[in-house]
Amino acid sequence: MKTEEFLDYLKEGESENLEFKSRVSGDIGEEICALSNLDGGHVFVGVSDDGGIRGCDVMASKETISQHLNNITPPVEVYYDRIEIDEKEVLIVRVPESDYLCGIGGTIYLRTGTSKRPLSIPEIMSRGVETLLFEVDKTPTDQLPDDEYLEEFSSKTRGDIDDLHQYLRNMGAITEEGKLTLAGLLFFHEKPQSTLPHASVRMIFQDDSWKRFSGPIWKIVENIENELKGKLALSSIQPGFKRIDVYEYPIKAVREAIVNSLVHRNYAIKSEVFIELDSNKLVIKNPGSFPPGTTPENPNPIPRNPIIYELMFQVGYVERQGRGIELIKEECEKHPFVSFNYELDSNFTTLTFKKEVESLSKKERNILSSLSEREKSASEIASELDVSKTTVLRKIDRLKEIGFVEKIGKGPATRYRLKEK
């Protein structure tokens, strides 16, 4: 660490990521655990609480810290640096963020503000689920499955199942005693929210009114999709004399995002999934961040709730793991008005679909205007607009994907026309 950076830290003072210590005390291991379980940070040994430089014996301090590190499980590897100010040495201990919850003597610590505290059992469970230490969907309940939902699952599944109950026991949706696990509860019980109240979705509208969706999660998906189709406006473009309408948000992408929010959320966090409809954006916010090693740009196949994922896969609500974000991206790229982005923090994932000011490109509008007169071949359009046939075909492919144009005929007789909505 450079001197200027060190002095900047001193000016800012202690924080969630920075601890000052005049000397190595008996709680140094707990401090390192607390930092590692948050986002990582630094410990400055030889600095008083008010930022005054006291100096320390660097070698002796490192030896004492190393002894305390031996008590941390799983181990935390720290990195040392030293700096000298006014002939006083300060030991800098860099603490990386841990992939797993670490503790001392069975107690797990977390940094809160400028102090540390032990985590409660519910907090440990929540963070354990977040880091994939626990699979909360395996948790047993005292609820029995509803035959109606078992039959519907059996009728929709991708393959033949000879013994449904044994199949679900092997999967982990039902216990050996015939009771539902949490995954089974969310799929095969009429009112899973009676046991897990936060396993619902709340939709908030522009006027601040709201509606809650409850029941099995696959029913929630269907009910929300129907609600959105009734609420979302149709955006219009006017190419020539003919108007073409398209939903203001890509329905397939929104549906996939809703499925993801229910399949991959952290059910140990006691919060609903939220959907917010605003004038220029649709926001889906679910408890839980992406699993370690997974990002929106690199959606590795690591399901947080593997049983829930498998159940939804069997009845066709999800495809292969990691494909969901690709689908959302593809649908938004095809849509003329919408982009999307993810925001992640330690407890929530927020996906925002945003309506852009930009619409279709000038060439795409010109093609639609040309086709508003009558059906035409690609060569006719190219000649009329004074562009290459290759360009016209490329633009028509996108307009077909969006749903504005359709192809008729084959070979030399191929023509294109505006698609009726």
CA distance linking residue 289 with residue 346, whole number of Å: 6
CA distance linking residue 297 with residue 338, whole number of Å: 18
CA distance linking residue 354 with residue 377, whole number of Å: 35
**Assigned CATH class of 362-418:** mainly alpha
Tens-level pLDDT at each residue, the chain (421 residues): 899 999 999 999 999 999 999 999 999 999 999 999 988 999 999 999 999 999 999 999 999 999 999 999 999 999 999 999 999 999 999 999 987 889 998 899 999 899 999 988 777 777 777 766 678 899 999 999 999 999 999 988 877 788 899 999 999 999 999 999 999 999 999 999 999 999 999 999 988 999 999 999 999 999 999 999 888 876 555 555 556 667 788 999 999 999 999 999 999 899 999 999 987 899 999 999 887 777 888 777 788 899 999 999 998 888 766 688 889 998 888 776 788 999 998 789 999 999 864 556 788 878 888 888 889 999 999 999 999 999 999 999 888 876 678 899 998 899 999 876 4
Main-chain phi, psi angles of 175, to 5 degrees: -80, 170
Instruction: For residue 247, list its beta bridge partners.
Output: 234
Task: Give, as one character, the DSSP assignment of residue 136.
Answer: G
CA distance linking residue 171 with residue 152, whole number of Å: 18
Assigned CATH for 201-355: 3.30.565.60
Element (DSSP H or E) covering residue 294: none
Beta strands in 199-279 (DSSP E): 201-204, 210-213, 234-237, 244-247, 273-277
Residue spans of the domains in the chain: they are 3-119, 137-191, 201-355, 362-418
CA distance linking residue 85 with residue 54, whole number of Å: 10
CA distance linking residue 261 with residue 373, whole number of Å: 44
Select from 396, 336, 344 the least CA-distant residue to 367: 396
Amino acid at residue number 330: E
CA distance linking residue 90 with residue 93, whole number of Å: 10
Using the Cα atoms of residue 184, residue 186, residue 188 and residue 192 in order, give the sign of their dihedral: positive
19: how many CB neighbours lie within 10 A of its CB? 25
CA distance linking residue 184 with residue 300, whole number of Å: 25
Residues ≥6 apart with Cβ < 8 Å to 57 = 89
Assigned CATH for 3-119: 3.30.950.30
